[in-house]
Amino acid sequence: MKIAPSLALAAATVLLAAPTAVSADSYWEVEAARANARAGGPTNARDAELLERYGCLSGTRSGFCERLDHGGPRAYRAPYRGKKHRARR
């Protein structure tokens, strides 16, 4: 039975290559950080990290969220402005 080890290896590869879920402890942790932002800003470093990663809700008038929207000092990166590649035939 040479098929069983091959199937086990294939299954392990799929499990290891699968993308992970949200790295926050839970969906509620992200929502709590967003609620703190609506109340005036992140209250701790973890909230700031979650807001940078997952973003604020639209319309949040926190100074922190406005800096994120306008590409503040900790924005991820500028859009790529290089040459567009043509598809090869």
Range 65-83 average pLDDT: 64
Phi and psi of 78, rounded to 5°? -75, 155
What's residue 24's pLDDT? 64
Residues near 65 by beta carbon (within 8 Å), at least 6 away in sequence: 37, 51, 56
Distance CA 54, CA 63 (A): 17
What's residue 78's pLDDT? 52
The answer to which of 41-45, 51-55, 72-76, 82-86 has the lowest mean pLDDT is 72-76
Measured CA angle at 57 (ends 27, 35), to 5 deg: 60
The domains of the chain are located at 26-73
Stated as kind and residue range, the H or E segment containing 65 is helix 63-69
Tell me the pLDDT tens digit for each residue of 6-64. Answer: 777 777 776 666 555 555 678 899 999 999 999 988 889 999 999 988 888 888 888 88
